[in-house]
Structure 1
Amino acid sequence: MSKKAWILNTCLGVLLSGCANDRTDEVEAEADGQALRKVTLKLDWYAEPAHGGFYQALLNGYYEEAGLEVEIQQGGPGVMPLQAVALGRVDFTLGRIDDAIIGVDRGLPVQLVAAYMEKDPQAIMFHASNPIDSWEDLDGKSIMVNPGNAFVAVLRKRKQIDFSVIPLDYGIQRFLKDPDFIQQCFVTSQPYFAKQQGVEVGVMLLSDEDYSPERVVITNTTFAEENPEIVKAFAESSLRGWKDYMEGDPSKTHEYLTGIHNGNTDELNAYSHKAMSEYKVVFGDASLGESLGLIDESKLEKTIETLRDLEIVKQELRASDLIDYSILPEAVRVPVK
């Protein structure tokens, strides 16, 4: 290792340690005379129905019942939530499980807490008039996607196809104007906006390509080691919120989401909630042994192996490098029947 690299790593280590200790001190603070532990959740995007379970837990008092005072911070374009939790600036964040694996491979001190979506709602969206029936039909096309997404390499290698990548701009204006345009989307949102503009769309869910990284809650490794009871309480309360959001009455949460982000509407909230149910995004497919919260160890090992085969991950990582099942709820370890 060069002297410059050694200095950089040393400074980063000091910074990470200091930030993590600061957050540990903060969670001991009392709120309103009660011994509530203050923790922060950083979203990966603006507040939307895809975060509904966390807001359901907040509004219904599930976090407070577990002794937590939770602040939910919104994300947006350019926000790097994984780095924020690695630096100890927040206690929890959200992301795809493969992003967490890549982060650990690159030295970030983060670990997994629970899966809040068993199936990633990311998809490829195209005009219904565009004759695309399979992944092979994408060969030779141009697709607007996030260039850093691992699924780009997965599709190219597994399907033996090639396509040009247009960097994602997080909008659908180009899609609306060009019937041949293809782009990455969330099945819970962009198809709705396209249909609102009179464009019928088709989608192919990326999780249907035998590469289905869960969307997960992520925390700082030092924070988890020093506060295992907080991590477990946050996981249990969040999963309770998600179950209630999907199976109970989401109206209060939808009203709240509309109030805190002007991109949300009653119609979008209803569409997103229905899409999550129809595509089995949150609970997964019970026939495959999937259930809310579960991070299956063998599947995690398989995802790591896939990323190594693609040379995206360099280290010989194991599931134990990413998750400590001993401090987590049973739902994370064992499928719920």
Structure 2
Amino acid sequence: MTFDRLSRRNLLLGAAGLTAAGALSACGRTEATVDEAGRVRLRLAAGGPVTAAHGGFYQAIATGTYERRGLNVEILTGAAGADIPALLAASAVELAVGVDSFAPMRLIADRAPVKAVAAFLQKDPVVLMARPDQPLEALSALRDRTILMSPADQAGFWNWLQTRFELTADQARPGTPEDNLKAFRDDPKAVLVGRLTAGDPTLIAREAGFTPRVLIPADDGYPSYSSLVLAPNAFARDNAKALRDFIAASVEGWRDYVHGDGSKADTLIRRANPDLNQRLLNAVRESLRTEAVVDGGDAALYGLGTMTAERWQAFAEQTEDAYPSAPDWREAFTVQYLPGRG
């Protein structure tokens, strides 16, 4: 079980003659291959740079949990903004990690037959950070303030934030991490978007010289899931046992990563992303525990990885203007492959 970086060739395959969504729709039977030991091979696209948001998957690799269920799982890493539909359409990967609930909703809007089959972060780990002397008790305090973010967040999280709190388009300031950090230092009223799972509050404290105020939008109504497992419908249909085994092993991995010894997973994470050090990952895992990011909410009632129709409907209603055509949120997910379901 290994991890590797997605090649440019794999990224381009999905565009050969068909759109990614069209290629996925045209898929026939898609039975997974097996290795020389008879284990089912599954490639999982990380969907961007590796962080603690992938911790449970790496834990299941490091501890042999996938192997014990007859799986050979490989995590393929890549840059932010990886073209998940193209990767799935090209059969460069069997599964992918979605950073938020926008991922499957946009796939459905594009008529790509892909569903979220599990959500291992019950709270989206997106955070808002401000200087310690600036108010940030609630999202309503954001009006008339510059909000620094990545281009990916402008295309995703910002859609919800702007609509929900009647913010203006000119408040959004997308930029590189370096530009955003400089602007955050220079503008005392600026608010910076980051991720708990990337250790951003700790990194900002180190780089900016002060401990920022931190607000978690998930605690103020943001209904997105994160670390979603995305599977093409045809693959799920033709490999139901392997998919159920993968999710069950991932449940074990996430439980052990958050509440057990995650050091073996962290070693693999740091190998895939040398910008993360062990002290930072320790702080992130503590945040995952104290904020109940993995096992809080519906997961406390129905088990890790769970999703509910109520959450998906709420997300769809609150982000309806983010898509060129309204997707049917019911087509964005299924719980039939979760442990104890189906």
TM-score range, shorter chain: 0.7 to 0.9
Asked if structure 2 preserves the Cα contact closer than 8 Å seen for 1:118 and 1:291, the reply is no
Larger mean CA deviation between 256-265 and 244-253 belongs to 256-265
- In structure 1, give the amino acid aligned to 2:195: F
User: Is the 2:25–2:112 Cα contact (8 Å) retained in structure 1?
Assistant: no
Q: In terms of mean alpha carbon deviation, does 130-139 or 211-220 score higher?
A: 130-139
SS of corresponding position for 1:325: coil
Instruction: Give, in angstroms, the shift of residue 313 of structure 1.
Output: 6.4
Tell me which of 35, 38, 41 is aligned to 1:35.
38
Corresponding position of 2:217: 206
Partner residue, 1:4? none
Kindly provide the CA deviation profile for residues 147-206 of structure 1, in whole angstroms up to 9, marking residues without a partner as x.
544432333333233352111424453224443332210023111111123222011112
Matched, 1:152 2:164: no
| Letter of the 2:157 counterpart | F
Given that residues 53 and 243 in structure 1 are in contact (C-alpha distance below 8 angstroms), is that contact kept between their aligned partners in structure 2? yes
Separation in 2, partners of 1:170, 1:311: 24
CA offset digits 1:273-324 (Å, max 9, x no partner): 111112211112369847421111222223223333x3636346142x2234
- Corresponding residue to 2:75 among 72, 75, 88: 72
User: Structure 1 residues 44 and 274 mapped into 2: Cα distance closer, same or farther (>3 Å)?
Assistant: same
> Paired residue for 1:223, among 219, 229, 235?
235
Counterparts in 2 of 1:78 and 1:158: CA distance versus 1, 3 Å? closer
CA drift at 1:48: 2.3
Instruction: Find the aligned partners of 2:57 and 2:189 in 1 and give their Cα distance.
Output: 37
- In the alignment, what sits opposite 1:264? 276
| 1:130 pairs with 2:134 | yes
Residue ranges of structure 2 left out of the alignment (5+ in a row) = 1-14
Indicate if the aligned counterparts of 1:43 and 1:81 stay in contact, CA closer than 8 A: no
C-alpha distance in 1, partners of 2:212/2:302?
A: 28
> Aligned match of 2:318 in 287, 306, 311?
306
Aligned to 2:191: 182
Is the alpha carbon distance of 1:327 and 1:200 closer, same or farther for their aligned partners in structure 2, counting shifts above 3 Å? closer
The amino acid of 1:142's aligned partner reads T
Q: More displaced, 274-283 or 258-267?
A: 258-267
**Alignment CA distance shift 1:30-1:218 (3 Å):** same
Q: Secondary structure at the match of 1:125?
A: strand
CA shift in 2, pair 1:294/1:16, >3 Å = closer
Counterpart mapping for 1:315-330 below 5 A: 315=326, 317-319=328-330, 321-330=331-340
What TM-score do the two structures reach when normalised by structure 2? 0.83
Cα distance, 1:297–1:128 mapped onto 2, change above 3 Å: same
Q: State the match for 1:94 in structure 2.
A: 97
TM-score, scaled relative to structure 1: 0.84
The separation in 2 between residues aligned to 1:251 and 1:192, in whole angstroms, is 19
Instruction: State the 1:86 CA deviation.
Output: 4.6
| Distance in 2 (alpha carbons) for counterparts of 1:224 and 1:243 | 24
The verdict on how the C-alpha distance between 1:300 and 1:103 changes in structure 2, with shifts beyond 3 A counting, is same
Query: 2:335 is aligned with what amino acid?
Result: Y
Give distance in 2, aligned partners of 1:256 and 1:42: 15
Relative distance call for 1:203 and 1:66 in structure 2 (3 A) is same
Contact 1:307 1:313 in 2 (8 A): no
Tell me how far 1:230 sits from its aligned partner. Answer: 1.5
Distance in 1 of aligned mates of 2:54 and 2:72:
18
Conservation of the 8 A alpha-carbon contact between 1:46 and 1:74: yes
User: Quick one: distance in 1 between partners of 2:106 and 2:124?
Assistant: 17
Question: Secondary structure at the residue paired with 2:147?
Answer: strand
The count of aligned residue pairs is 318
**Counterpart contact for 1:86–1:109, Cα < 8 Å:** no
| Contact 1:36 1:69 (C-alpha < 8 Å) held by counterparts | yes
Task: Supply the RMSD in Å over aligned alpha carbons.
Answer: 2.8
Matched residues in 2 for 1:234 and 1:287: separation? 18
Distance 1:303 1:77, change over 3 A: closer
TM superposition shift of 1:41: 0.6
Q: How far is 1:14 from its partner? A: 6.0
Alpha-carbon distance change, 50 to 21 in structure 1, aligned in 2, over 3 angstroms:
same
**Are residues 195 and 235 of structure 1, via their aligned partners in 2, closer, same or farther at CA, if it must alter by over 3 Å?**
same
| Amino acid in structure 2 at the alignment position of 1:247 | H
SS in 2 for 1:113: strand
Tell me which amino acid in the other structure corresponds to 2:313: E
Give the AA of the match of 1:282: V
Which runs of 5 or more structure 1 residues have no equivalent in the other structure? 1-7
